[in-house]
Amino acid sequence: MKVQAYATHSPTDQLHPFQFMRRDVGPRDVKMEILFCGVCHSDLHQAHNDWKNSIYPMVPGHEIVGRVTEVGGEVKKFKTGELGGVGCFVDSCRVCPSCTAGLEQYCVEGCTQTYNGYERDGKTPTYGGYSTHIVVDQDYLLHVSEKLPPAAVAPLLCAGITTWSPLRHWKIGKGSRIGVVGLGGLGHMAVKFGAAFGAEVTLFSTSPDKEADGKKLGAHRFAMTKDPDTFKKLAGQLDFIIDTVSAPHDYSAYLSTLKLDGTMVCVGVPEDNISFPPFSVIMGRRSLAGSAIGGIAETQEMLDFCAEHNIVADVEVIPIQKINEAYDRMLKNDVKYRFSIDMASLK
């Protein structure tokens, strides 16, 4: 079917109205009318070709909540009328050790990105959630509870799972002293999850005006990173840090706040390479690690936990026509704390 969307055609282009064809619903496919799509900083990085792998025209969007409008003959997991969610990938090889372990995001062949990728045929481009409809294999679609507002659930599909997965993997819980770097889309979910898991959360931020919000979201301590005393005071204090920063910054300063054997996990992806003195990790036997989104099973677990504990993103709902303005504001750290596009604005 022909769908309406917003696309960009080059790194310096803005997003404009665009039309393209979604595939027919196959036996294992589900078609959804998209209700809301969150705006991730990865959308902006890829629209601008920050990571040097962009495919144009690009329809961004990988925080998708929609309503099922059609299911294929073999579909058992979803029914017409239910809510569904699509995150950052829509397929993977399904047979490699990562896929069979439910860690499809680390598929050895590379998972099929929801946009800025190609289907498994290697040549059909994928288009994301800044569009009215999506067709997706039932195995890569998530169940979304009717209990929560869908506009605020959409960001859980990337910002939520990207912070949930490392917090779970590194077993953050009661007694953990953790740092969250950056209070944006990912950062505010990391603060909420860290607090929900019982950790003591220190929020590192460059924005003094975010202190009150940070504490309301669950942070126990606010650390202004522009104040050099911050790093002296916190030296050797934390067990774990999740770094969500989207722009180049000084990793060694944050590493210095880790205890013996502490771990700092990078989830933010600035366009430049990371550089830091080896002593930042040698002293204190510290680790610098990374983590990518999350697998289908753990994403479902996260969504179910959020429904049970009433956790959603804090969103500013916008019409698609405001998307270029939203990108400009995101670059100025002026988002509280995720834009969510109301796709009804595209009809």
- Give the binding range for Zn ion (CB under 5 A) out of 32-40, 67-75, 240-248, 281-289: 32-40
Task: Single out the residue of 245, 264, 281, 323 in contact with ligand NAP (rule: CB under 6 A).
Answer: 245
Please report how close the Cβ of residue 309 comes to ligand NAP at its closest, in angstroms: 21
Q: What gap in Å lies between CA 240 and CA 262, rounded to an integer?
A: 6
Q: Could you give the maximum distance between any two Cα atoms of the chain, in Å?
A: 63
Give me the residues paired with residue 37 across strands: 64, 341
**Nearer to ligand NAP (CB atom), residue 132 or residue 163:** 163
Please report how close the Cβ of residue 50 comes to ligand NAP at its closest, in angstroms: 8
Query: Can you give 72-118 as a three-state secondary structure string?
Result: CCCCCCCCCCCEEEECCEEECCCCCHHHHCCCHHHCCCCCEECCCCE
Q: Report if residue 93 touches ligand NAP, rule: CB under 6 A.
A: no
Q: Which of 43, 42, 46, 56 is nearest to 10 (CA)?
A: 56
Q: Which of 9, 86, 21 is nearest to 54 (CA)?
A: 9
Residue written as tokens 């029914």? Answer: 79
Where does residue 259 rank: exposed (0-12), middle (13-18), buried (19+ CB within 10 A)?
Answer: middle
Residue 92 binds which entry of Zn ion, ligand NAP, none, with Cβ cut-offs from 5 to 8 Å by kind?
Answer: Zn ion
Residue 5 binds which entry of Zn ion, ligand NAP, none, with Cβ cut-offs from 5 to 8 Å by kind?
Answer: none
Please report how close the Cβ of residue 79 comes to ligand NAP at its closest, in angstroms: 30
Residue 132 binds which entry of ligand NAP, Zn ion, none, with Cβ cut-offs from 5 to 8 Å by kind?
Answer: none
Looking from the CA of 215 toward its CB, the CA atoms found within 13 Å total 8
Please report how close the Cβ of residue 157 comes to Zn ion at its closest, in angstroms: 8
Q: What gap in Å lies between CA 206 and CA 122, rounded to an integer?
A: 41
192, amino acid identity: K
Residue 185 binds which entry of Zn ion, ligand NAP, none, with Cβ cut-offs from 5 to 8 Å by kind?
Answer: ligand NAP
At 299, give phi and psi (nearest 5°).
-65, -40
Please, which of residues 251-280 interact with ligand NAP by CB under 6 A?
267-269
Binding pattern to Zn ion, positions 139-168, x when CB under 5 A? -------------------x----------
Please report how close the Cβ of residue 28 comes to ligand NAP at its closest, in angstroms: 26
H helices present in 8-124, as ranges: 41-47, 97-100
Binding pattern to ligand NAP, positions 140-159, x when CB under 6 A? ------------------xx
**Nearer to Zn ion (CB atom), residue 140 or residue 231:** 140
Numbers of helices and strands, H then E, in the chain: 11, 17
Q: What gap in Å lies between CA 341 and CA 113, rounded to an integer?
A: 20
Is residue 333 left, alpha or beta, with left meaning phi > 0 and alpha meaning psi from -120 to 50? left
Residue written as tokens 């990571």? Answer: 51
Please report how close the Cβ of residue 16 comes to ligand NAP at its closest, in angstroms: 22
Task: Single out the residue of 31, 133, 210, 286 in contact with ligand NAP (rule: CB under 6 A).
Answer: 210
Please, which of residues 84-143 interact with Zn ion by CB under 5 A?
92-93, 96, 99, 107
**Nearer to Zn ion (CB atom), residue 92 or residue 176:** 92
Q: Report if residue 341 touches Zn ion, rule: CB under 5 A.
A: no
Helix (H) or strand (E) holding 303: helix 296-309
Q: Which of 321, 322, 310, 317 is nearest to 337 (CA)?
A: 317
Write out the two tokens for 270.
Answer: 């600035």
**Nearer to Zn ion (CB atom), residue 154 or residue 234:** 154
Write out the two tokens for 31.
Answer: 């078609």
Binding pattern to ligand NAP, positions 287-316, x when CB under 6 A? -----xx-----------------------
- Positions that interact with Zn ion (CB under 5 A): 40, 42, 92-93, 96, 99, 107, 158
- Positions that interact with ligand NAP (CB under 6 A): 40-42, 45, 158-159, 162, 182-187, 205-207, 210, 244-247, 249, 267-269, 292-293, 330, 333, 335
